[in-house]
Chains A and B, each alone.
Chain A
Amino acid sequence: AQTVTQSQPEMSVQEAETVTLSCTYDTSENNYYLFWYKQPPSRQMILVIRQEAYKQQNATENRFSVNFQKAAKSFSLKISDSQLGDTAMYFCAFTYTGNQFYFGTGTSLTVIP
């Protein structure tokens, strides 16, 4: 079975600080793609970052970076220099078919001014 687990329902961070959101997944596939999506109060689902499982190098997008541990099936998101606009729900997801995407239950992040 393909599953995604986000064990932190809620997190908070001070503005300008760094926070890491955890995600683990389970799959028997070897080639797949991992994602972090952000859902702010406007409820639009926005792609934050993605990682191809065959790439060893961790993906980075400006203040967002991931720590991808394939053997451990772990895919955490680090947000550096947190900003108020980072307040949102964050969903971890993966796909190996490109059609069925598996989403976690989300982590609600609040950035405190």
Chain B
Amino acid sequence: DAGVIQSPRHEVTEMGQEVTLRCKPISGHNSLFWYRQTMMRGLELLIYFNNNVPIDDSGMPEDRFSAKMPNASFSTLKIQPSEPRDSAVYFCASRVSGANVLTFGAGSRLTVL
């Protein structure tokens, strides 16, 4: 298995631009999580899905952030419009139902100028 796959690995954009981060969970994993990591706040859960359904999005910072999971093998995290304070590493993680362990992707480092 290739693990959790995230793209892009790095993204540099200008303030006001739309950013889309992508994630492919491990096949058979039915829960998917989006985290944001910054020096100031550490790892923050943004949103998670069970069986493609968003369960808890209370961690999404504001309406500029949205996440979708149209099928079991793909999820996106979109920021529109982006701001410099959104600069962070965004991780996607997945787990299989009943297994209380997360498998993380390699992360997407976002820099908003």
Interface set of A (CB-CB < 8 Å, partner B): 33, 35, 37, 42-47, 50, 91, 95, 98-101, 103-106
Q: Which residues of A contact B102 (CB under 8 A)?
A: 45, 47, 101
**Binary CB contact string for chain B from 94 to 109 against chain A (1 if under 8 A, 0 otherwise):** 0100111111111101
Q: Is the interface of B mostly helix, strand, loop or mixed?
A: strand
Q: Which residues of B contact A101 (CB under 8 A)?
A: 33, 45, 102
What's the tally of chain B residues with a CB closer than 8 Å to chain A? 24
Nearest Cβ on chain A to B49's Cβ, whole angstroms: 10
Minimal Cβ-Cβ distance residue in B for A35: B101
Q: Does B43 contact A (CB under 8 A)?
A: yes
With A and B bound together, what is the CA distance between A46 and B106 in angstroms? Answer: 9
Q: A50-B101, A98-B95 are in contact. Are A106 and B106 (CB under 8 A)?
A: no
Q: Which residues of A contact B23 (CB under 8 A)?
A: none
Beyond contacts A47-B103, A99-B56: 19 other A-B pairs, Cβ-Cβ < 8 A, are A33-B100, A42-B106, A43-B107, A43-B109, A44-B105, A44-B106, A45-B102, A45-B104, A46-B104, A47-B101, A91-B43, A95-B100, A98-B99, A99-B31, A99-B55, A100-B56, A101-B45, A103-B42, A106-B42
Sample (26) of A-B pairs whose CB atoms are under 8 Å apart: A33-B100, A37-B104, A43-B89, A43-B109, A44-B104, A44-B106, A44-B107, A45-B91, A45-B93, A45-B107, A46-B104, A95-B100, A98-B31, A98-B98, A98-B99, A99-B48, A99-B55, A99-B56, A100-B45, A100-B56, A101-B33, A101-B45, A101-B102, A103-B42, A103-B43, A104-B42
**Binary CB contact string for chain B from 75 to 104 against chain A (1 if under 8 A, 0 otherwise):** 000000000000001010101001111111
Q: Which residues of B contact A103 (CB under 8 A)?
A: 42-43
Minimal Cβ-Cβ distance residue in A for B3: A44
